[in-house]
Amino acid sequence: MSACEVFSKGFPGKLAVQMKLHEYQSKDLLAKYGVPVAAGDVTSDPAEVKAIAERLGGNVVVKAQVLMGGRGKAGGVKLFTNSDDASTFAKELIGKRLISIQNPDGMIVEKVLVTETIDIAQEYYLSVLLDRSLQRNVVMISKEGGMEIEEVAEHNPDAIVKLVVDPAWGLSDFEVRGAVKKANIPKEAAGQMVQMIKKLVRVYEENDADMIEINPCALDANGKLIAADAKVSIDDNALFRHPGYNETSSDSADHPIEAEAMRRGIAYVNLGGEIGIMANGAGLTMQSLDEINAAGGRPANFLDVGGGANAERVKTCVELIMMDPNVKGLLINIFGGITKVDEVAKGVLTAFGEMNVTIPVVARIEGTNVEEGRKILEGSQVIPAATVQEAAKMIVELAHA
């Protein structure tokens, strides 16, 4: 995978853009803003499912809490009329890998959400997201909600009304009303939907979200509009403004090493290849990916050590890279600016000393304190290279040997 592919891995670019919240987290957030959601509770314990279901009166939906779409079709969402069946199903579901069209690799179910069943009469679709080509946030509204929305988007795009949010003026009531009307939302739901859209846009803006999707946005038999499903993702770059989400971020990553990296505060993306890469700065890291590709190898990861990293942080980075069993060689590409190369060298050797690293390692190091850095690495297993190209060629050859 080359550098630009890293940015397009996932939508809309998973490198530093999205932190998905689980449905239960999304619904908690929406409820704080007054968006109607069904009562419920989350648990990882099937026995507790029974208790929750009883408390909710027995008519419940059990929903796998995995960060992927299409759970319904994958068998991860089921309706029950008594607590025993709900709990039996939860027992089967928890620990199981759920596979959907959107996510062929699947994800393990760790928790389930148990909610009161909504007596759904109509299923609509609502979302707020960033339209990168327009450089605007947009609200999407459709009368054709439910599990076939992808089909609708593809074959009947006119059934989805797009409302552009003006960055200076926001949305005015009449615009929202007009869009809801254009989407042919029936009268009994229209007023409630206008209110819901305004709340969703507030949630989106105040929480630095880059996507909120309500599908289905359900009109129940009593004429009440309820968010029956909710997917919220927060812009990673704004997480420092929302410290509460950092704690939940680990279970948002789709990959165990990515989750661990997030916990340790390191930007790491697993790319599935065999050459581990440790570089500093996003630019140099991406150059490393490209050089590995050009040399005929496949990068195992994107990892940015970050500016001014000390030996301890470097050690953490090496540990993360080595957690990946596919890694057959390690490329170190550091240009010391604020980062001091001798600190990097110390961190690398400490990590190797503690971990018994047996794979080949090639390092191209330059910049601040480079002489000290080279001295530290002298006589170690780290093979020096003069240029990035040379380093990439060497490590690919050694790893494939």
The residues annotated with a catalytic role in the active site are: 125, 213
Identity of the residue, 229 or 274, whose beta carbon is nearer to Mn ion in the bound complex? 229
Q: Under a CB-based contact definition with an 8 Å cutoff, are residues 75 and 81 in contact?
A: no
**Options 67-75, 174-182, 204-212, 366-374: segment touching ligand GDP (CB under 6 A):** 67-75
Please tell me whether residue 65 binds Mn ion under the rule CB under 5 A. Answer: no
Please tell me whether residue 120 binds ligand GDP under the rule CB under 6 A. Answer: yes
Please tell me whether residue 139 binds ligand GDP under the rule CB under 6 A. Answer: no
Q: Which residue has the tokens 């942080």?
A: 313
How many residues sit close enough to ligand GDP to count as binding (CB under 6 A)? 18
Which residues, 6+ apart, have CB-to-CB distance to 188 below 8 Å? 219, 223
DSSP secondary structure, 211-232, as one string:
EEEEEEEEEETTS-EEESS-EE
Which residues, 6+ apart, have CB-to-CB distance to 83 below 8 Å? 49, 50, 51, 53, 54, 58, 60
Site string for ligand GDP, 88-117 (x = CB under 6 A): -----------------------------x
Q: Under a CB-based contact definition with an 8 Å cutoff, are residues 92 and 83 in contact?
A: no
Min dist. Cβ of residue 40 to ligand GDP (A): 9
Identity of the residue, 107 or 203, whose beta carbon is nearer to ligand GDP in the bound complex? 107
The residues in 213-232 that bind ligand GDP, with binding defined as CB under 6 A, are 215-216, 228-229
DSSP code of residue 22: P
Helices (H), 298-360: 311-322, 341-355
How many whole angstroms separate alpha carbon 386 and alpha carbon 390? 7
Beta-strand relationship, 60-64 and 40-43: unpaired
Please tell me whether residue 72 binds ligand GDP under the rule CB under 6 A. Answer: yes
Q: Which residue has the tokens 């709990």?
A: 87
How many whole angstroms separate alpha carbon 148 and alpha carbon 140? 15
Site string for ligand GDP, 46-65 (x = CB under 6 A): ---------------x-x--
Which residues, 6+ apart, have CB-to-CB distance to 39 below 8 Å? 56, 115, 116
Identity of the residue, 218 or 277, whose beta carbon is nearer to ligand GDP in the bound complex? 218
Min dist. Cβ of residue 230 to Mn ion (A): 8
Please tell me whether residue 215 binds Mn ion under the rule CB under 5 A. Answer: yes
- One of 229, 324, 342, 343 touching Mn ion (CB under 5 A): 229
How many whole angstroms separate alpha carbon 38 and alpha carbon 60? 10
Site string for ligand GDP, 334-373 (x = CB under 6 A): ----------------------------------------
Which residues, 6+ apart, have CB-to-CB distance to 291 below 8 Å? 388, 389, 391, 392
Min dist. Cβ of residue 366 to ligand GDP (A): 49
The residues in 21-40 that bind ligand GDP, with binding defined as CB under 6 A, are 38
Identity of the residue, 63 or 313, whose beta carbon is nearer to Mn ion in the bound complex? 63
How many whole angstroms separate alpha carbon 173 and alpha carbon 321? 51
Identity of the residue, 60 or 295, whose beta carbon is nearer to ligand GDP in the bound complex? 60
- One of 3, 49, 56, 77 touching ligand GDP (CB under 6 A): 77
**Options 71-79, 180-188, 242-250, 268-276: segment touching ligand GDP (CB under 6 A):** 71-79
Residues that bind ligand GDP (CB under 6 A): 38, 61, 63, 69-72, 77, 79, 117-118, 120, 146-147, 215-216, 228-229
